[in-house]
Chains A and B, each alone.
Chain A
């Protein structure tokens, strides 16, 4: 353990911590934009700067090691002023269209602009570069007019998904995120996992499937397990007015043990079958080759009667049940119990083999 002073308070931190970690450990919040605990450090946005006594320059706390005896100020006037300048510089390339942005209310950049009182940028003379918002893929919207070049998307793509589809192109004021030759994602190694959307601290990357259906403060997030493959990723269904309107993910291992928030294209963008107009909404009975709607009572009485007839006439082993690799354990349990205890046969199987 080392000892240091933060905002006048003596605190301890494990040797080898960064200043940011030392602060977080002691309940002191530092704003960050490019920092992501699961990704390689970039140390580029400088939002996390702090003041250290006897050091001429501010330190980017996400990369600066905490050292014995340091005296740190995290929210001095000077620091606050410097962060305002940093935000203004970033704001110069940001299109504040918060009214129509799906990230409104769930946007780290918006939060900081609010906190630090940034309305517009005084660096904007000569005009902001305008990027066309045009990527024909059906999954994610890329609006680089809102991008603040934190490069978290690039690192997530490279380090979590290992797709290496996107990169930083050009330098300085003209830099932007792009796929090779500035093309479309569909022609790149992109697998549409949306890990970039998950880490983006602005509205530059959003889901096209969820667009316009509900903002963070309007939805409830229900933690559950993906319905597709056997990996068993944890995801959050976003629900507005009793309707699923999107998927987000929880990045804490404590809550998302298999995938730590990472998902694939099906988990993240393949949820809208839930609201499909093709869903069955009522029992159906076939009469003269055509289905007609029926009540539960009528349908279940018919099923019970027919199964019983077959059982009485031909014996229990003339009946069989296919249960499912997609329904819950509880339902599989009841399906085999029903087959064995009620139908009286062990003819129960599912498509494990298929």
Chain B
């Protein structure tokens, strides 16, 4: 997030939620948004193919078809420019590339966008005016925006919209990706990515590499590595021979599980370190038992860049050990001695190599934690980025972006759009929540949300078991007939191994830049059993 969670509760005068269902996925953020809207008079715009809890209290609800985000956002900008609502001063002072962007956007009239998005032109106008005219406005998005073949374009469009209206660098404004998992932010910050070390220092940058070579006393590779999805593909082709999986469950979380399964089975050697014998661990050659968050010390970084302490509360079961101890032990056995007395000692090494974390210590994290960038020991941390419109690379760059349809459009054989997401009561691959008695008792199975019109057409009734198929495969699932979804789209949560959504999603066609698979749009077919 460029801004802080707390600002959504009071400072934002307008909140635009697109491709995100915070009351289910980030519930405490959802509560704050609701409070702001219902009690503090903030305006709310919700764009989603599902009529979410927030949609029900929105000033404008835009049920755009999955994959039509760019068209919708371009049309909003079209209105803002046409009606003179853009923040000219901000654009002139802080940005570049406005002309090219404006040229592309000029052909996206609301009427044209209506034909792509299915959203009435007047609602697009209303949303554009609300966003531009209400005062400090924030945009919240999540996987519903990024898990598309055009995910990178979608995110750039959102940034365009914020810059066009000067909604950056002040309390209550901002572009706020809501990160799904507790430490996604931290995993990225720590260099758990194929192209960067900690703090986004590029592995191809010689100075950065030299610094890490010096600190780690070893020669380091100078080429970008493979992303997760590329790794799976390479494993499939036999180019990746051995894989170490630390606390991930690609056999549930990755697209097209047939493909993942074949790839993992093709490996010469698979090690999985986890707290349960996950679907992935079952395929492993060696499984190492890790400690869970309650059994170790450390830090997590949340979606607003706040680094907070994790504290050991109880001992790990049996011989399970914290992952950091296991990694040290293994490195040492492989001839590279690694040893730390505590997680705090590791944190010291991190801060010595990571400018954005440099001012942090465990002592300073007590209480409220610290939001990065926090470059020095006196620095108070940074609640919102781009203060006064200052961007890290000088000027904020507009991108001129044309709408591209999703890779897989419905056709005669697969006439329906399948989209996937999360349930309030479960988490990710279900590894943990399916083993929480109350959560699993409350929501024991996946349900496919189907609009009454579609249900009628297929003569499906509430609670009926149906077969849901895509070009990748098919599963059986219980139908839930609800008006909360637009007629030609169906939705299912992805936490349930008995009906894992990712047997159906596709993995060949990735967003060309971010390499994100298109989870949110698959062409599908429903049949009665």
A contact set with B: CB distance below 8 Å: 137-139, 159-162, 186, 191-193, 208-209, 220, 222-234, 237, 239, 242-244, 253-255, 257-259, 262-267, 269-274, 276, 278-286, 291, 294, 296, 299-304, 306-308, 310, 313-314, 316-354
Please determine whether A138 and B438 come into contact, CB atoms closer than 8 angstroms.
yes
Q: Which residues of B contact A284 (CB under 8 A)?
A: 277, 284, 286-287
B180 at the interface (CB under 8 A from A): yes
Q: Which residues of A contact B347 (CB under 8 A)?
A: 329-330
A-B contact pairs, 5 of them (CB 8 A): A224-B309, A229-B182, A320-B231, A327-B246, A340-B203
Q: Which residues of A contact B294 (CB under 8 A)?
A: 224, 227, 237, 244, 271, 274
Q: In the complex, which residue of chain A has the Cβ closest to the Cβ of B425?
A: A265
In the complex, A299 Cα to B212 Cα: how many Å?
30
Please determine whether A232 and B319 come into contact, CB atoms closer than 8 angstroms.
no
Using C-beta atoms within 8 Å of the partner chain, give the interface range for chain B. 35 or more
B439 at the interface (CB under 8 A from A): yes
Q: Which residues of A contact B234 (CB under 8 A)?
A: 320
In the complex, A324 Cα to B467 Cα: how many Å?
33
In the complex, A273 Cα to B277 Cα: how many Å?
13
Nearest Cβ distance between residue B431 and chain A, in whole angstroms?
A: 8
B399 at the interface (CB under 8 A from A): no
Please determine whether B286 and A351 come into contact, CB atoms closer than 8 angstroms.
no
Please determine whether A340 and B221 come into contact, CB atoms closer than 8 angstroms.
yes
In the complex, A51 Cα to B322 Cα: how many Å?
58
Please determine whether A325 and B183 come into contact, CB atoms closer than 8 angstroms.
yes
- The prevalent SS among residues of A at the interface is mixed
Q: Which residues from 20 to 44 on chain B have a C-beta closer than 8 Å to any C-beta of chain A? A: 23, 25-29, 31, 34-35, 38-39
Q: Mark B132-148, 1 if CB is under 8 A from A, else 0.
A: 00000000000000110
Please determine whether A332 and B317 come into contact, CB atoms closer than 8 angstroms.
no
Nearest Cβ distance between residue B462 and chain A, in whole angstroms?
A: 16
Q: Which residues of A contact B221 (CB under 8 A)?
A: 316-317, 340, 344-346
In the complex, A294 Cα to B289 Cα: how many Å?
11
Contact A231:B312 (CB < 8 A) given known A283-B287, A336-B197 = no
Contact of B299 among A160, A280, A316, A329 (CB under 8 A): A329
Q: Mark B180-216, 1 if CB is under 8 A from A, else 0.
A: 1111111111111111011000010000000010001
Contact of A330 among B212, B224, B298, B517 (CB under 8 A): B298
B466 at the interface (CB under 8 A from A): no
Please determine whether A330 and B424 come into contact, CB atoms closer than 8 angstroms.
no
Please determine whether A353 and B427 come into contact, CB atoms closer than 8 angstroms.
no
Q: Which residues of B contact A350 (CB under 8 A)?
A: 184, 187, 192-193, 228, 248
Nearest Cβ distance between residue B286 and chain A, in whole angstroms?
A: 5
In the complex, A209 Cα to B242 Cα: how many Å?
41
Please determine whether B240 and A328 come into contact, CB atoms closer than 8 angstroms.
no
Please determine whether B289 and A191 come into contact, CB atoms closer than 8 angstroms.
no
In the complex, A222 Cα to B247 Cα: how many Å?
23
Please determine whether B324 and A330 come into contact, CB atoms closer than 8 angstroms.
yes
Q: Which residues of B contact A299 (CB under 8 A)?
A: 286, 288
Contact of B28 among A231, A254, A319, A354 (CB under 8 A): A231
Q: Which residues of A contact B23 (CB under 8 A)?
A: 191
7 closest A-B pairs by beta carbon, nearest first, are: A281-B318, A232-B302, A328-B298, A346-B225, A264-B27, A230-B179, A324-B247
Comparing B71-79, B80-88, B326-334, the segment that makes contact with chain A is B326-334
B274 at the interface (CB under 8 A from A): yes
Q: Which residues from 243 to 271 on chain B have a C-beta closer than 8 Å to any C-beta of chain A? A: 243-248, 250, 253-255, 268-269, 271
Contact A352:B246 (CB < 8 A) given known A228-B427, A336-B192, A337-B216 = no
Q: Which residues of B contact A280 (CB under 8 A)?
A: 274-277, 281, 287-290, 318, 320
Contact A286:B284 (CB < 8 A) given known A223-B311, A331-B323 = yes
In the complex, A300 Cα to B98 Cα: how many Å?
56
Please determine whether A326 and B5 come into contact, CB atoms closer than 8 angstroms.
no
Contact A324:B298 (CB < 8 A) given known A159-B35, A273-B435 = no
Q: Which residues of A contact B186 (CB under 8 A)?
A: 325, 328-329, 332
Nearest Cβ distance between residue A196 and chain B, in whole angstroms?
A: 13
Q: In the complex, which residue of chain B has the Cβ closest to the Cβ of A137?
A: B442
In the complex, A336 Cα to B195 Cα: how many Å?
11
Q: Which residues of B contact A320 (CB under 8 A)?
A: 225-226, 231, 234-235, 240, 242-244
In the complex, A211 Cα to B313 Cα: how many Å?
19
Nearest Cβ distance between residue B257 and chain A, in whole angstroms?
A: 12
B509 at the interface (CB under 8 A from A): no
Q: Which residues of A contact B285 (CB under 8 A)?
A: 285-286, 306
Nearest Cβ distance between residue A210 and chain B, in whole angstroms?
A: 10
Q: Mark B418-433, 1 if CB is under 8 A from A, else 0.
A: 0000001101000111
Please determine whether A255 and B367 come into contact, CB atoms closer than 8 angstroms.
yes
Q: In the complex, which residue of chain B has the Cβ closest to the Cβ of A239?
A: B313
Contact of A328 among B212, B300, B517 (CB under 8 A): B300
Please determine whether A327 and B183 come into contact, CB atoms closer than 8 angstroms.
yes
Contact A307:B307 (CB < 8 A) given known A265-B424, A266-B427, A328-B186 = no
Q: Which residues of B contact A341 (CB under 8 A)?
A: 216, 218, 220, 331, 336
Please determine whether B228 and A354 come into contact, CB atoms closer than 8 angstroms.
yes
Q: In the complex, which residue of chain A has the Cβ closest to the Cβ of B315?
A: A242
Q: Which residues of A contact B298 (CB under 8 A)?
A: 327-331
With a 10 A CB-CB cut-off, give which of A222, A316, A319, A330 has the most chain B CB atoms: A330
Nearest Cβ distance between residue B299 and chain A, in whole angstroms?
A: 5
Please determine whether A239 and B314 come into contact, CB atoms closer than 8 angstroms.
yes
Please determine whether B314 and A348 come into contact, CB atoms closer than 8 angstroms.
no
With a 10 A CB-CB cut-off, give which of A186, A318, A329 has the most chain B CB atoms: A329
Nearest Cβ distance between residue A198 and chain B, in whole angstroms?
A: 13
Q: Which residues of A contact B458 (CB under 8 A)?
A: none
In the complex, A331 Cα to B330 Cα: how many Å?
13
In the complex, A144 Cα to B182 Cα: how many Å?
36
Contact A138:B324 (CB < 8 A) given known A230-B182, A263-B28 = no
Contact of B425 among A233, A266, A340 (CB under 8 A): A266
Q: Which residues of A contact B331 (CB under 8 A)?
A: 338, 341-342
Please determine whether A348 and B193 come into contact, CB atoms closer than 8 angstroms.
yes
Nearest Cβ distance between residue A309 and chain B, in whole angstroms?
A: 8
In the complex, A296 Cα to B391 Cα: how many Å?
49
In the complex, A225 Cα to B433 Cα: how many Å?
17
In the complex, A344 Cα to B335 Cα: how many Å?
13
B338 at the interface (CB under 8 A from A): yes
Please determine whether A349 and B289 come into contact, CB atoms closer than 8 angstroms.
no
Please determine whether A300 and B299 come into contact, CB atoms closer than 8 angstroms.
no
Contact of A325 among B184, B225, B239, B441 (CB under 8 A): B184
In the complex, A269 Cα to B188 Cα: how many Å?
28
Please determine whether B182 and A226 come into contact, CB atoms closer than 8 angstroms.
yes
Q: In the complex, which residue of chain B has the Cβ closest to the Cβ of A262?
A: B28
Q: Which residues of A contact B243 (CB under 8 A)?
A: 319-322
Contact A303:B330 (CB < 8 A) given known A230-B185, A231-B302, A278-B276 = yes
Please determine whether A231 and B26 come into contact, CB atoms closer than 8 angstroms.
yes
B303 at the interface (CB under 8 A from A): yes
B528 at the interface (CB under 8 A from A): no
B376 at the interface (CB under 8 A from A): no
In the complex, A263 Cα to B29 Cα: how many Å?
10
Q: Which residues of B contact A160 (CB under 8 A)?
A: 31, 35
In the complex, A314 Cα to B234 Cα: how many Å?
14
Q: A321-B246, A333-B349 are in contact. List 6 more A-B contacts (CB 8 A).
A: A162-B39, A220-B313, A225-B310, A279-B317, A320-B225, A354-B255
Q: Which residues from 500 to 526 on chain B have a C-beta closer than 8 Å to any C-beta of chain A? A: 514-517, 519
With a 10 A CB-CB cut-off, give which of A233, A291, A303 has the most chain B CB atoms: A303
In the complex, A219 Cα to B345 Cα: how many Å?
29
Please determine whether A323 and B187 come into contact, CB atoms closer than 8 angstroms.
yes
Q: Which residues of B contact A262 (CB under 8 A)?
A: 28, 31
Q: In the complex, which residue of chain B has the Cβ closest to the Cβ of A264?
A: B27
Nearest Cβ distance between residue B148 and chain A, in whole angstroms?
A: 11
Please determine whether A310 and B268 come into contact, CB atoms closer than 8 angstroms.
yes
Please determine whether A232 and B424 come into contact, CB atoms closer than 8 angstroms.
no
Please determine whether B432 and A270 come into contact, CB atoms closer than 8 angstroms.
yes
